Structure 1
């Protein structure tokens, strides 16, 4: 397990902003993240967590005068750890599904993307029925696992603990296809001999999961800081660092102030 700290003030006096939240550790956001979920959460060459979700959380914590201590785990470990009270928040690209909302709380979505089916570059598949009877991989516990079960039911689901294992098996021929969130798929297409065979819109956005009994002030304040980053241009700057696709119309419904930031730019939603 990787444990690293970033951001925030050095003291937690009783009257400090950091002390007003009920956290696993006073004045510190204990955050579960993933070591390899590009571009949301990855580990850099120095062993530090980075990525779009990490950058957003670090900036929000800085503005709230809080530290963030990251602990690397799997998606299932993140959700289970939140339920057990081990973490305050999950920092990765986590779909805010109705089923997960029974287990954890969520911020307002900060990203909305696509679901992609990846194959090796030589693949000929272009539609979901092309994968009937084939071995299709997904990260265990992910929304993509649910997608394979519901939308690709005649494929043979193969579950993996993380994206690294999933992509390794795709590249070695252990599976015929891998299902990922669109942003992660784009990251692998840029560096590996894989192609997007099928692209479909996601049914829900990515948000930060939190403990069900999390301090409601913290959830509200993190959302408020993301909105403030939208208003001052910080969010768009970070978005451009990691993504090339336009901002989804569904995300603008959740974060309306994004509309004026992306209007008349190449980030404006594509109109049907």
Structure 2
């Protein structure tokens, strides 16, 4: 998704791939690249851990997160959904999400767990 964003919005940028996240995080520090497009939590933790790094700009790519589960593991899927419902119902999920992503919970995720305590500010509630 990040590469698609760069190709579409910044075709002048040369994209360089790395085999793993630690190598991506180290590349700007070692001078291998001038910048790094990373998820909000990754960028924040890197900037917090190293005072020579900063978050230059936040962009919304509209991505939602998921918990991949093997199709045959219905018991795990049921347990995840039950816990997500409970976390939405008491407000814990929204607090955790906001602390990492600095934006409201996406409407699609909220709609999947309709027992949420209240809509996130600025989302207009469930779609």
TM over 0.5: yes
Aligned equivalent of 1:178: 36
> Retained in 2: the 8 A contact 1:246–1:270?
no
* Whole-angstrom distance in 2 between the partners of 1:216 and 1:244: 28
* Whole-angstrom distance in 2 between the partners of 1:164 and 1:170: 11
Aligned equivalent of 2:5: 147
Q: Kindly indicate whether residue 59 of structure 2 is the aligned counterpart of residue 207 of structure 1.
A: no
Runs of 5+ in structure 1 lacking a partner? 1-142
Of structures 1 and 2, the one scoring higher in RCO (CA 8 A, sep 6+) is: 1
- From 224, 243, 246, give the equivalent of 2:100: 243
- From 105, 121, 124, give the equivalent of 1:269: 121
Residues 255-266 of structure 1: pairs in structure 2 closer than 5 A: 255-260=113-118
Question: How many residue pairs align between the two structures?
Answer: 122
The structure having more radius of gyration, on CA atoms, is: 1
> Retained in 2: the 8 A contact 1:145–1:159?
no
Once the two structures are TM-superposed, the CA of residue 229 in structure 1 deviates from its matched residue by 2.2
CA spacing shift, 1:178–1:242, aligned 2, 3 Å: same
Q: TM-score, normalised by structure 2?
A: 0.71
Q: Which whole-Å deviations, capped at 9, do the CAs of 1:59-107 have from their partners, x for residues lacking one?
A: xxxxxxxxxxxxxxxxxxxxxxxxxxxxxxxxxxxxxxxxxxxxxxxxx
Please report the RMSD computed on the Cα atoms of aligned residues, expressed in angstroms. 3.0
Runs of 5+ in structure 2 lacking a partner? none
* Whole-angstrom distance in 1 between the partners of 2:77 and 2:62: 23
* Whole-angstrom distance in 1 between the partners of 2:106 and 2:98: 20
Q: Kindly indicate whether residue 46 of structure 2 is the aligned counterpart of residue 188 of structure 1.
A: yes
Structure 1 runs of 4+ with >6 Å offset = none
